[in-house]
């Protein structure tokens, strides 16, 4: 079902505005209170990054460390979902030996246990500066 807008008093489908899923869409009791809080905060950060148009390009990730039974795991976005589509339930939990897009983040989290969150973006202004010969 598409969102509906009103034009000249007539309800019409609005194909320009995507439907938003709620950020805090976790079923009760599925995660610890700490993990549920971190999932909601991370999903909120993904939405903020999208709001500021910092989600352009591909291979951008934001991760957060969560302690699980004496070991650390990280939450990260699944490949294929846009930042405005992220919610607490869509985030993927991986261990620090993760593969692909998780490799950079797992290495940083492993090397710096004091860090809770890692953000890796390809913001156009930073990409432009990095392409300059100085």
Would you say the C-alpha torsion 1, 80, 34, 27 has a positive or negative sign?
positive
At 59 the pLDDT is: 72
With contact defined as beta carbons under 8 Å apart, do 72 and 109 qualify? yes
Q: DSSP assignment of the chain, as one string?
A: ---EEEETTEEEE-SSS-----S--PPTTSS-HHHHHHHHHHHHHHHHHHHTT---SSS-EEEEEEEETTEEEEEEPPTT--GGG--TTT-EEEETT--TTHHHHHHHHHH-TT--EEEE---HHHHHHHTS--
pTM over 0.75: no
User: Tokens representing 30?
Assistant: 């599925």
- Dump pLDDT digits (tens) for 3-32: 455 555 555 555 555 567 888 898 888 889
Assigned superfamily of 8-130: Class II aldolase/adducin N-terminal domain (3.40.225.10)
Domain ranges of the chain: 8-130
- Dump pLDDT digits (tens) for 92-133: 888 776 554 566 777 888 899 898 888 877 777 877 888 888
């Amino acid at each position: 079902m598409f969102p509906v807008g009103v034009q000249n008093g007539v309800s019409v489908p609005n194909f320009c505005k995507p439907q938003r899923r709620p950020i805090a869409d976790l079923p009760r009791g599925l995660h610890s209170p700490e993990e549920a809080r971190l999932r909601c905060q991370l999903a909120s950060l993904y939405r903020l990054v999208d709001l500021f148009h910092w989600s352009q390009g591909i291979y951008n990730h934001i991760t957060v460390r969560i302690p699980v039974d004496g070991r650390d795991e990280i939450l990260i976005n699944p490949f294929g979902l846009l930042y405005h589509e992220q919610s607490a339930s869509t985030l993927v939990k991986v261990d620090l030996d993760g593969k692909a897009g998780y490799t950079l983040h797992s290495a940083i989290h492993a090397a710096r246990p004091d860090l809770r969150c890692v953000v890796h973006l390809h913001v156009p202004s930073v990409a432009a500066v990095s392409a300059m010969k100085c």
